[in-house]
Amino acid sequence: MPENRMFYQSVAPELFDVIALNIKESGLWTTKGLKRFIIEKPFGHNLKSARELNTKLSNPFDESDIYCIDHYL
């Protein structure tokens, strides 16, 4: 049976990449099931920081595994 995992991040934007790398390095991301890294906005402080964060998260994860949500919706 596949193991599905979801990591929901509702923390300060500067912690997203640190948490993401620790999840990846700990082996928690290694599973045969679905994996999702969910980020609750804000995604950075401005366009520049959002792009930098996107680049950092694209390294350990596939873009299809990352979801950004707005808690106001």
pLDDT in tens, the chain (73 residues): 578 999 999 988 888 889 999 999 999 998 888 999 999 887 778 889 888 888 888 877 888 999 988 766 5
Q: What angle do CA 12, 23, 6 make, to 5 degrees?
A: 80
Whether omega before 60 lies within 30 degrees of 0, making that bond cis, reads no
Domain extent at residue 65 = 5-69
List the CATH number of the domain containing 49: 3.40.50.720
Give the pLDDT confidence score for residue 25 in this predicted structure.
92
The total domain count for the chain is: 1
Q: Give the start-end residues of each E strand in the chain.
A: 5-9, 35-40, 66-69
Structure-token pair, residue 14: 């500067």
